[in-house]
Amino acid sequence: MAERVLVTGISGYIGQHCGAELLNRGFEVVGTVRSSARADATKTAIAAVAPVGGLSFVEADLLSDAGWDGAMPGCTYVMHVASPFVLAEPKDENDLIAPAVEGTRRVIEAARRAGVRRLVLTSSTFAMTAGKPSGRYGPDAWSDLSARIGAYAKSKTLAERAAWDAVAGGEIELTVVNPGAVFGPSLGARIDGQSVALMTDMIGGKMPMIPNVAMGMVDVGDVARLHVAAMTAPGAAGRRFIAATAEPVSMAHFAEVLRAAGYSKVPSRRAPNAAIKLMSLFDREARGMVPMLGKKVSYDNRATFDVLDWKPTPMETSIREMAASLSE
């Protein structure tokens, strides 16, 4: 009998890929959606790349207890993916922090009650390096919450801290995957998220200049495969795994790849840091970029290769495939 996996946020960009990867490997998948109205579109998107006979949905919200205990029975594993990548600063930081932290605790407690063996949490490299100076960081690094790191980085840091606290001394195993900026093809359902918005703005000519920003990046299919490896690898329990290029990829290189692929509306001019700072006074997305301006952060991702047998997709391939999928 196939083992059952609960995937939170399965209608999202990463969640759809995780669901598809699990189904292709023979697992039974239960996906949570905030509204059942999103289930059909998500199923159709996943069906394009995976068999969906073993896919079902439950309605559950990270800010409510309703639905979580009913979602867990029979699940050997949980992938807690729900929580979007958002750079734009919200008017109230708790709009991001509350669902991230409260939702993580809620999911772990329901998993504990159901006797789930292992939970894989989708965190972020922001939980490791936000507020830190340029340099090289490994899986033991944590962001500096005393710095002005932005609501998204704060939400991911506090949610991951809450997860480690919640499993301490218990029987449920926790493994954390910390992706950088995630790119690669969308599976087709309506997708929200920073990566999709950034790519859409770039190829659509809505970004007039390129910010002086560089990020560790990763392919969305790689993220899904690493989640499955983190879920099943014997040596993965109790560890954090960086899913990002060892060296940061600049937005200038990102733009070059797109222009070379024929996307003529992609900008070539570079934005002075002062211009982004000025924009940040009235633009929430620019405000989210300010802490990243001019910073160069690299990662010690060796454990991801050694323990999870990672074979990275070239980022140039991810960028081109994502642009093509959004153009279609």
In a domain? residue 261: no
In a domain? residue 20: yes
Query: What's the domain count of the chain?
Result: 1
pLDDT at 137 over 70: yes
**Residues recognised as catalytic:** 156
Residue 6, classed as helix, strand or coil, is strand
**pLDDT confidence tier of residue 88, bands split at 50, 70 and 90:** low
In a domain? residue 142: yes
Which domain covers residue 143, as residue numbers? 4-190+217-244+298-313
Torsion angle of C-alpha atoms 237, 119, 228, 85, degrees rounded to 10: -110
d(CA 20, CA 16): 6
Strands 214-215 and 249-250: antiparallel
Alpha helices (runs of H) in the chain, residue ranges in sequence order: 13-24, 39-47, 68-71, 94-113, 126-129, 151-167, 194-203, 220-232, 251-260, 273-279, 284-289, 302-308, 315-327
Whole-model pTM above 0.85?
yes
Chain centroid offset of residue 60 CA: 19
Which pLDDT tens digit goes with each residue over 149-185? 888 889 999 999 999 999 998 999 999 999 999 999 9
Q: Are 11 and 18 spatial neighbours (Cβ–Cβ below 8 Å)?
A: no
**Average pLDDT in the chain:** 91
The full DSSP string for 261-283 is TT-TTS--SBPPHHHHHHHTTT-
What are the backbone dihedrals phi and psi of residue 201, each rounded to the nearest 5 degrees, phi first?
-65, -40
Which pLDDT tens digit goes with each residue over 234-265? 999 999 999 999 999 999 999 999 999 999 99
In a domain? residue 198: no
In a domain? residue 266: no
In a domain? residue 207: no
Q: pLDDT value at position 276? A: 74
pLDDT, average across residues 80-85: 76
d(CA 117, CA 82): 19
pLDDT, average across residues 206-230: 93
Which pLDDT tens digit goes with each residue over 9-19? 999 999 999 99
Q: pLDDT value at position 112? A: 97
In a domain? residue 229: yes
d(CA 84, CA 207): 21
- Closest by alpha carbon to 185, among 223, 230, 215? 223
**CATH code (residue 306):** 3.40.50.720
In a domain? residue 293: no
